[in-house]
């Protein structure tokens, strides 16, 4: 079995066939999914999905590309919401995205530190989105961990080896998406080889970034199988072993999510 630790099932791309794609995920051995929040104001839609589908859990948070829309959301708001709902198992996604550059670094950092505080206080894992921001992310993770540890996941990892190294050192987990399977991603596979196997997770980030076997198609949770296959090759273990270990890892870091 596998867990897709990061997808966006509330996106309109899935409106017509949510039942079918969740069924396909189950058929492919993807037993549980975490659908990730990009705006706290859209949380009701996410929660409705988790209530309809027992195998789907969610997070609460503001994506860095939406940072300035939700500067009124405080750590206490995130904590209250997370404590109110059994199906909220993580904080985020939040982080720094200097690639799209639609938000100021200052606004993104404000959101990031508030979400870190919420992760620290709730013990729920922080879902970190970091793109073209390795240096600042290393600095913030190191400084904030110094004030008090918090569980975190570097999601859709596509950064350099130094961020991976620091993330591991600080107790974090590294989640790989379909990018790991692309022919040009040899550097990323080299990083994956260095990550301790008990810190590895797999995700789709669907509807984006379909892995190689389905490249160019709209992504969906069942496709996470391809990423797990490539990760197994990187680590020199069987697919069955990779599936088991990554699932155990996911249930350890998403400590509020029950094993189904
Ligand atoms: Zn992201
Ligand atoms: Zn995402």
Q: What share of the chain is helix, strand, coil (3-state, %, to 5)?
A: 50, 15, 35
**pLDDT tens track for 73-125:** 999 999 999 999 999 999 999 999 999 878 999 999 999 999 999 999 999 99
Instruction: Report the separation in Å between the CA atom of 78 and the middle of ligand 1, taken as the mean of its atom positions.
Output: 18
Q: pLDDT value at position 101?
A: 75
Q: pLDDT value at position 131?
A: 97
Within a 10 A sphere around the Cβ of 52, how many other Cβ atoms? 11
Instruction: Report the separation in Å between the CA atom of 177 and the middle of ligand 2, taken as the mean of its atom positions.
Output: 10
Given a cut of 50, the residues of the chain with pLDDT beneath it are none
Instruction: Report the separation in Å between the CA atom of 156 and the middle of ligand 1, taken as the mean of its atom positions.
Output: 6
Q: Which residue has the tokens 């985020």?
A: 92
The answer to whether residues 160 and 134 touch, using CB atoms and an 8 Å cutoff, is yes
Instruction: Report the separation in Å between the CA atom of 193 and the middle of ligand 2, taken as the mean of its atom positions.
Output: 23
Q: pLDDT value at position 247?
A: 98
Q: pLDDT value at position 100?
A: 87
The domain defined by 2-253 carries CATH number 3.20.20.140: yes
Q: pLDDT value at position 153?
A: 99
Within a 10 A sphere around the Cβ of 183, how many other Cβ atoms? 7
Instruction: Report the separation in Å between the CA atom of 240 and the middle of ligand 1, taken as the mean of its atom positions.
Output: 27
């Amino acid at each position: 079995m596998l867990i897709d630790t990061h997808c966006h099932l509330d996106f309109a791309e899935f409106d017509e066939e949510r039942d079918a794609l969740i069924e396909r995920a189950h058929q492919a051995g993807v037993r549980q999914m975490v659908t990730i929040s990009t705006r706290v104001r859209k949380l009701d839609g996410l929660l409705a999905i988790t209530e309809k589908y027992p195998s789907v859990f969610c997070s609460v948070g503001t994506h860095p590309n939406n940072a300035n829309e939700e500067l009124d959301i405080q750590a206490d708001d995130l904590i209250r919401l997370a404590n109110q709902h059994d199906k909220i198992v993580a904080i985020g996604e939040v982080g720094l995205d200097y690639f799209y550059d639609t938000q100021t670094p200052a606004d993104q950092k404000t959101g990031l530190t508030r979400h870190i505080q919420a992760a620290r206080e709730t013990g729920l894992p922080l879902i970190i989105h970091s793109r073209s921001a390795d240096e600042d992310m290393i600095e913030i993770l190191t400084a904030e961990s110094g004030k008090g540890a918090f569980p975190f996941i570097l999601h859709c990892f596509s950064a350099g080896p130094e961020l991976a190294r620091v993330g591991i050192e600080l107790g974090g987990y590294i989640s790989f998406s379909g990018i790991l399977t692309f022919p040009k991603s040899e550097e990323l596979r080299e990083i994956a080889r260095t990550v301790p196997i008990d810190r590895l997770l797999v995700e789709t980030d669907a509807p984006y970034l379909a892995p190689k076997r389905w490249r160019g198609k709209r992504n969906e949770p069942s496709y996470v199988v391809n990423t797990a296959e490539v990760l197994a090759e990187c680590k020199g273990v069987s697919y069955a072993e990779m599936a088991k270990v990554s699932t155990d890892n996911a249930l350890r870091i998403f400590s509020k999510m029950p094993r189904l």
